[in-house]
């Protein structure tokens, strides 16, 4: 199993203000699997993503990636893991404002030993003709395409997406979902995508629902449908 989450617990704060956000999660995700993570606001979705991303650490439990336990990695190794093996896509794009579309993607490429071809990627992303523009000259959907490009240009083993369509309208959201689906199929990256939108679960291989710090549902979606056919 590629990604193994075992008994993960996480709380924030201390004393009376202590909140137990993750109360012992077990989850296994296969290589290349597209996993959608659902749950109400505050249920710990981003917290779990940050732990998988090596940005935050769990209080208890284990995270094993490709046979290697994250907690056993040195700071240096962890940094290499984040740099080379992980892509992160956020709701608010987080592009570098004074770099062009192309340059923003190249930043991701520099981090990798075997980056994807930037020209090919710009075509797949549908922003080839916008490559010389700055982020503030783009629509939200175009900015998100660029952010996806920056995350996947290093061809990461794991792509973490935190509400990637949260700031987008219906049609643009579907375009972005189609793009993430294409990336998953073309490059075989393992994807964990957080969303509030229940309809999006239909395009996933695996659906995980979090509530009150626990996994309430975890199942393989037997009737996966293409992103283009989603409706909400």
Pairing verdict, β 60-65 and 3-12: antiparallel
Is there a contact between 6 and 64 (Cβ–Cβ < 8 Å)?
yes
**Contact flags string 47-86 toward ligand ATP, x per CB under 6 A:** x---------------------------------------
Contacted entry of Mg ion, ligand ATP, none for residue 19, CB cut-off 5 to 8 Å set by kind: ligand ATP
Distance CA 228, CA 174 (A): 7
Is there a contact between 177 and 184 (Cβ–Cβ < 8 Å)?
no
212: contact with ligand ATP by CB under 6 A: no
Query: What string of H, E and C letters represents the secondary structure of 138-193?
Result: CCHHHHHHHHHHHHHCCCCCEEEEECCCCCCCHHHHHHHHHHHHHHHHHHCCEEEE
What minimum distance in Å lies between the beta carbon of 91 and Mg ion? 8
42: contact with ligand ATP by CB under 6 A: yes
Distances (CA, A) of 49 to 36, 53, 159, 200: 11, 6, 10, 18
155: contact with Mg ion by CB under 5 A: no
- Closest residue to bound Mg ion by CB: 46
**Contact flags string 18-47 toward Mg ion, x per CB under 5 A:** ----------------------------x-
Q: Which of 1, 7, 12, 26 binds ligand ATP (CB under 6 A)?
A: 12
**Beta-carbon count within 10 A of 65 CB:** 22
Taking the least distance from each CB to ligand ATP, the nearer of 45 and 174 is 45
- List residues binding ligand ATP (CB under 6 A): 12-13, 19, 21, 39, 41-47
- List residues binding Mg ion (CB under 5 A): 46
């Amino acid at each position: 199993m590629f990604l193994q989450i075992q008994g993960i617990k996480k709380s924030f704060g201390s004393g009376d203000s202590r909140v137990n956000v993750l109360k012992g999660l077990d989850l296994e995700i296969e290589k290349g699997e597209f996993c959608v993570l659902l749950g109400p606001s505050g249920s710990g979705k981003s917290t779990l993503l940050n732990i998988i991303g090596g940005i935050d650490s769990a209080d208890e439990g284990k995270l094993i990636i490709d046979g290697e336990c994250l907690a056993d990695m040195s700071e240096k190794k962890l940094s290499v893991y984040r740099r080379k093996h992980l892509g992160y896509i956020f709701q608010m794009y987080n592009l570098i404002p004074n770099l062009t579309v192309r340059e923003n993607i190249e930043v991701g490429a520099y981090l990798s030993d075997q980056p994807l071809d930037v020209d090919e990627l710009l075509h797949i992303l549908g922003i080839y003709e916008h490559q010389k523009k700055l982020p503030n000259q783009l629509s939200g959907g175009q900015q998100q395409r660029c952010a996806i490009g920056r995350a996947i240009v290093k061809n990461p083993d794991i792509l973490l997406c935190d509400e990637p369509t949260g700031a987008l309208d219906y049609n643009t959201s579907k375009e972005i979902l189609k793009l993430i689906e294409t990336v998953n199929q073309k490059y075989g990256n393992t994807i964990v995508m957080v969303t509030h939108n229940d309809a999006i679960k239909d395009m996933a291989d695996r659906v995980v629902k979090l509530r009150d710090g626990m996994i309430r549902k975890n199942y393989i979606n037997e009737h996966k449908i293409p992103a283009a056919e989603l409706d909400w």
